Amino acid sequence: LIGGTGDDIYTVDNADDEIIENTDEGTDLVRSSVSWILDDHLENLTLIGIADIDGTGNTLNNLMRG
């Protein structure tokens, strides 16, 4: 999954998904139905679905829901 220069929303449904996001390209949201660790340059994480999954932030000021 490759982001653009603005705010991006990524939907992740596979632990092998990969997100490519560069520095200073907006505030991004990852919506994930699998356990997910936010990579560098990704700001926010929402865990979706009913599975027992985990979410982990990074060094940014993350907003995490789920």
Q: What is the pLDDT of residue 50?
A: 96
Q: What is the pLDDT of residue 13?
A: 98
Q: What is the mean pLDDT of each run of 10 residues along the chain (66 residues)?
A: 95 98 94 98 97 97 96
Global pTM value: 0.94
Q: Two tokens at 36?
A: 């997910």
- Dihedral sign of CA atoms 17, 62, 43, 7 in order: positive
Neighbours of 45 (CB within 10 A): 24
> Do residues 28 and 41 make contact, with C-beta atoms less than 8 angstroms apart?
yes
The pLDDT, as a whole number, for residue 38 is: 98
Tally the residues of the chain: 66
The predicted structure's pLDDT at residue 44 = 98
> What pLDDT is stored for residue 19 in this prediction?
98
